[in-house]
Structure 1
Amino acid sequence: MLKRNKLFILLSIVFVLFLSACGNGSEHTSIKLAEVTRSLFYAPQYVAIEKGFFEEEGLDVELQTTWGGDKTMTALLSDGADVALVGSETSIYVYAQESKDHAVNFAQLTQTDGTFLVAKEPKPDFTWDDVKGSIFLGQRKGGMPQMVGEFVLKKHDIHPHQDLELLQNIDFANIPSAFVSGDAEFVQLFEPTASVFEKEGKGHVIASFGEESGEVPYTVFMTKDSYLKENPTHIEKFTRAIYKAQQWVAENSSEEIAKVIQPYFEDTDLDILATSIERYKNQDSFATDPILEETAWENLLNIMDEAGELPGDAPYEELVNTKIAEDIMNE
């Protein structure tokens, strides 16, 4: 009788382990995610990973940083990534090339520009006219930071290529150091670099391009049209995890968010992370839901057109999918 009980217990354990192994194999899906850069601006994405929201959806997300819009889209289109987090303007550039399998924007992460105007010297009485005649260190031609920068300057009756000396020959990663060592009086910087410069006395934040330019689909999760059609459930689970993270970020303090995402910014002090996140929260940079509204899309097209970078038609109904996000929000 004792041997029979032992055998029953052993068989039960083996059966449970077998079911567990089968369950793990069927429930978890690998998603290759390419982010255009490592940025505090993408805080909700790191929250989704660190708080286990992807895992709750049965997703194993493999995050890679691809450093640049062109490289990120190459990774997506060549199946090096299933999902890309990148500026939505890149999907427009791909569509204009008459791609047979274009990229579809399905979940918005940030809804404003993420750069700040930083000056070498304090300017307590700053007006945009102060920029005229200056040496201005800009961003890459055709990228969202530069297009938004030019849009804001024109909004204040400043022609970026006539009324100032605009420098655009510096790689994105080297812009901060070039500003410190060079002659430029103004620069566009993302956080946490802007706050670090303030703390170290290397620069002074005097204006926000995000506040000046209004709502725009600045960084968006996208996938190929074919992947979306073949794997709708994967994208649905991915979007649900992002929505959970967006809500968590909206409901928690900048200090708490900073603690969660600090592993992604090990070289940055916790207080700088919190200050930077607070700046973004105060100007509503983090989208609180994944829906990319048509009005924001039209603002993007206007910004691109003003910069002379709009390559052609960019139909909202073909390049943006809101149904997945809407269904999730209505659950």
Structure 2
Amino acid sequence: MKRRSVRVLAAGVTVVAALLLGACGGGAGADGTETVTVAQADPGLSFAPLYVADGMGYFADEGLAVDIQTLKPDVAVAGLASDQIDYVATIGSVARQAATGVPVKVAMVWFDRTPFVIMGNSRFQDMAALRGQAVGVSGFGSSTDVALRHALRASGLDPETDVEIIQLGGGGPAGRITAIQTDQVAATPLTLPDDIIAERRGLTRLYDTTDELLIPFTGLGVSDIKLAEDPEQIAAMIRATRRALEHMAAEPEESARIISEATGTEEDVVLEALPTMVRIVSPDGLASAEALENSIAPTDGSGATPDLATAYDFDLLRAENTQQGVPAAPDRPAADG
């Protein structure tokens, strides 16, 4: 079936203008604190290390003040490549764009698996029932698109012919939930804690990708220019967000409170979702070679997977790991891979 798009952020000059107006990072304050801009796809648990690092003062300890912007992933990556944004946390989009030649890289992985659940209208009780239906993603080539295609194929459906994939645009998880409730689509991928919210609103769990979709989820994406010119700042971001991940595991109630305040999500919902997110944290900021390859493989399953070096640069992370005594898991790629 044909793919179509609704409510997609405008292209061209409008996007560039919005980006320049809405995401202006860099510069030092009167106290010497350096302001950096980080883009996220939506305010949610996937980006919790940013909220916890900010709320606990870990960024401040590194001399950083972080301005968190919510931007559509393709716009964010364009801003990253043009040096308008310092970091992009939606690293799936960063890696896929890097593999096509965009001068950006992933420098750290926070979560080494992609915890999407395909949530559907209560009329549908399994993935097979989606045959002939419209299903929604945030954007073509996004992590939601990858997760949906994985779940469809695993359920014996062809994403190209058995369903109609609709791009729902910048409405975030709340917009995708509404799209199901208003019958625009039959199902959509949601991540924690939005799947919990959707279930409480009567939607049905159709497929859980958490333990299957070995694709790095969120982390730190940077430009090639920043890698070359500002390694100290990148190392500081690595240290601060690593401390946040450790705090999420050690102090879930305090972390849930901070995340709830930052995202507007009810604290009990965050607390219910947090154990799963902690379970998929990358202990060393890396991911397996298989996961990294999956992240840049063509979404339609065709063509050769690009070289990992086109999308990932973990040299600074490995140096930080060595300094802090963090061992690498045995399935990690070689340093020159």
- TM class by shorter chain equals 0.7 to 0.9
Change (3 A) 1:251 1:289: farther
Residue 82 of structure 2 corresponds to residue 78 of structure 1 = yes
3-state secondary structure, aligned to 2:110: strand
**Greater mean alpha carbon deviation, residues 50-59 or residues 74-83:** 74-83
Q: CA deviation at 1:233?
A: 0.9
State which of 270, 294, 298 in structure 1 corresponds to 2:293: 298
1:112 corresponds in structure 2 to: 113
Residue 195 of structure 2 corresponds to residue 191 of structure 1 = no
Larger Rg: 1
Residue 133 of structure 2 corresponds to residue 129 of structure 1 = no
Aligned partners of 1:257 and 1:170: how far apart in 2?
Answer: 31
3-state secondary structure, aligned to 1:188: strand
Change (3 A) 1:305 1:142: closer
AA partner of residue 75 (structure 1)? G
TM alignment of 1:233-248, pairs within 5 A: 233-248=232-247
TM-score w.r.t. length of structure 1: 0.78
> Per-residue displacement from partner, 1:60-119 (whole Å, max 9, x unpaired)?
2222222x11110122122221122123343432452x45xx112111122222321213
State which of 259, 263, 266 in structure 2 corresponds to 1:265: 263
3-state secondary structure, aligned to 1:79: coil
TM alignment of 1:269-284, pairs within 5 A: 269-281=266-278, 284=279
Q: CA deviation at 1:130?
A: 4.1
2:45 corresponds in structure 1 to: 40
Aligned-CA RMSD value: 2.7
Q: Contact conserved, 1:32 with 1:61, CA < 8 A, in 2?
A: yes
Q: CA deviation at 1:240?
A: 0.9
TM-score w.r.t. length of structure 2: 0.77
AA partner of residue 105 (structure 1)? V
Change (3 A) 1:261 1:161: same
Aligned length: 292
3-state secondary structure, aligned to 1:110: coil
Please, which runs of 5 or more residues in structure 1 have no aligned partner?
Answer: 1-23
Aligned partners of 2:134 and 2:88: how far apart in 1?
Answer: 34
AA partner of residue 266 (structure 2)? D
3-state secondary structure, aligned to 2:177: helix
Change (3 A) 1:322 1:116: same
2:221 corresponds in structure 1 to: 222
2:19 corresponds in structure 1 to: none
